[in-house]
Structure 1
Amino acid sequence: MNQSRVENLLQDLNLINSANYEMVQSVRKMVLGLGADVSEEVKYGGILFSATNSFCGVFAYSTHISLEFSEGATLSDKYSVLEGKGKFRRHIKCLQMDEIQNKHLLHYLKLAYQHQKSQQT
Structure 2
Amino acid sequence: MPNETGISFNEFKKFCQFLNNLDDFAIAMKMYTYAQQPVSQEEFLRAVMVCTGFSLGSHIVNTVFNIFDKDGDGHLSHKEFISLMKDRLHRGARSHLMHSQNTMEAFKTCVKNEMRTF
TM-score by length of 2: 0.28
Q: Which has the larger radius of gyration?
A: 2
**Larger fraction in helix:** 2
Per the normalisation by structure 1, the TM-score is 0.27
| Structure with greater proportional strand content | 1
